[in-house]
């Protein structure tokens, strides 16, 4: 499994898929970005497209996996990007699936776009956890956690959270609480994945001597 995931052809395929998904995600958020630009301060705009930004972090992490930086500064940037990629991809991947399911459970109709979104977002979470073993992001996970908590605060403090299914518009406090909890759980999952990767690498080095 590791050989397949780490092979350059496979990473290139995944990079292409994630690049297209990221572009589509920002297009999907076009109406909310336009609404936010017309009704809120411009500095809030970067906090609006949550899932596409998570996908962008993962896409950049794949680029840095293919072309790892050699300088100390570059290595630090890579670790931060990888940490952001894992934490946010796990968080928003699970969040989108759960919100769509919750909307359907409360009486909303699920169409083909909803099923497509659930499949693609579940893929975000899975790929992030799978590739955490190749990342060197453990020390940067606290920073990724702080960034994601800041994003949650902007979303629910200023009301720029992702537009919800109509059946959930009266459940914003519950969605907010779930969102903050999921951020903590996602950072914990990222930390555990990074720890497991570090232990495997240490065991491999010990067998070499």
Q: Which residues of the chain have pLDDT under 70?
A: 197-209
pLDDT at 38: 96
pLDDT at 4: 86
HSE (CB half, 13 Å, CA atoms) of 160? 28
pLDDT at 204: 53
User: DSSP code of 5?
Assistant: H
- Any residues with CB less than 8 A from the CB of 199 and at least 6 apart, and which? none
CB 79 within 8 A of CB 163: no
pTM > 0.85: yes or no:
yes
Give the domain ranges of the chain.
2-207
pLDDT at 203: 54
- For 3, 42, 96, the CA distances from 16, given in Å and listed in that order, are 19, 30, 22
pLDDT at 86: 97
pLDDT at 209: 40
Q: What is the pLDDT of residues 94-144, one digit of tens each?
A: 999 999 999 999 988 888 889 999 999 999 999 999 999 899 888 999 999
CA–CA dist 144, 140 (Å, integer): 6
């Amino acid at each position: 499994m590791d050989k397949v995931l780490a092979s350059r052809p496979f990473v290139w395929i995944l990079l292409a898929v994630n690049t297209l998904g990221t572009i589509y995600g920002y297009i999907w958020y076009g109406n909310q970005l336009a609404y936010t630009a017309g009704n809120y301060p411009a500095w809030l705009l970067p906090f609006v497209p949550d899932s596409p930004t998570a996908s962008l972090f993962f896409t950049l992490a794949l680029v840095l996996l293919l072309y790892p930086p050699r300088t100390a500064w570059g290595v630090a940037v890579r670790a931060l990007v990888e940490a952001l990629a894992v934490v946010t991809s796990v968080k928003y991947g699970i969040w989108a699936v759960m919100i769509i399911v919750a909307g359907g459970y409360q009486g909303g109709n699920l169409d083909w776009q909803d099923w497509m979104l659930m499949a693609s977002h579940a893929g975000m979470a899975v790929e992030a956890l799978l590739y955490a073993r190749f990342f060197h992001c453990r020390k940067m996970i606290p920073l990724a956690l702080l960034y994601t908590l800041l994003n949650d605060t902007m979303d629910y403090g200023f009301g720029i959270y992702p537009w919800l299914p109509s059946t959930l518009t009266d459940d914003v406090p519950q969605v907010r609480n779930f969102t903050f909890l999921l951020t903590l759980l996602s950072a914990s999952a990222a930390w555990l994945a990074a720890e497991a990767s570090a232990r495997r690498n240490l065991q491999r080095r010990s067998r070499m001597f």
